[in-house]
Amino acid sequence: MNTTHSRPTVAVLGIGMMGLPMARRLCQAGFSVHAWNRSRSKAERLLPLGAQVHDTPAQAVAQADLVITLLEDGDIVGDVLFQQGTTQGLRAGALVVDMSSIQPRQARDHAARLATIGVMHLDAPVSGGTVGAEAGTLAIMVGGKASDFERAMPVFGVFGRATHVGPHGAGQLAKLANQMIVGITIGAVAEALLLCERGGADMAKVKQAITGGFADSRILQVHGQRMVDATSPSAARWRCSSRTCATR
């Protein structure tokens, strides 16, 4: 393995809202980072931190022990890996860690196709958003072989807390479960607070009253506060002064 100070050389494909802060953390942690993005200018934001920026994904992965993909969806991941020459650039024994959110069947397919050329694969979607990416507090749900999970732990540790949840595709299943719980809970918080407001209760006081109880959650605190703020008198005045309100 090619290492710098016992750290794997890492390629990051996709320097967007999540890719930028995550690649930045790798640079700051002392990893040798090779970056590629479809719009090169986005990847060049990492140059002051010592990252090397490449014109193609194949060039970016040529020296990498571990390749991270942070792309929009499964079709784009497949295109970058198998249609843009990336597989030709990968070294045998490299580990591809797909941290995009894609379909479980696509993750399994990518793992099988990479295995035919001697490249390992993990699907490792994350939860925590850009705030978690910047702070290194992401929840990382990982599917694949346990040995590959252990191999990737030095990198996962830079991003947050990683859990091996099962074979290839299991990480994406865990992310689906995460999204189901988040979506349902946001809906429940919205309905509950709206019910209280329409019944004459102070929404902010209701949120305060149930904080610390069994109904408390990060969603109540973050999304619930946004709902409170959106219904405050100042927010109502702002909405009524907008062009949309003025033209109704």
Exposed/middle/buried for residue 141 (C-beta within 10 Å: 0-12, 13-18, 19+): buried
- Our answer to whether residue 175 is catalytic in this structure is yes
C-alpha separations of 245 from 198, 227, 228, 235 in Å = 21, 19, 20, 12
- The HSE-up count of residue 58 (CA atoms within 13 Å, CB side) is 9
Q: What is the dihedral of CA 215, 219, 221, 224, to 10 degrees?
A: -90
Q: Are 101 and 74 in contact (CB under 8 A)?
A: no
CB neighbour list of residue 43: distance below 8 Å, 6 or more residues apart = 15, 35, 36, 37, 51, 53, 54
Q: Which of 42, 145, 175, 207 is catalytic?
A: 175
Q: Are 164 and 146 in contact (CB under 8 A)?
A: yes
Q: Which residues are catalytic?
A: 175
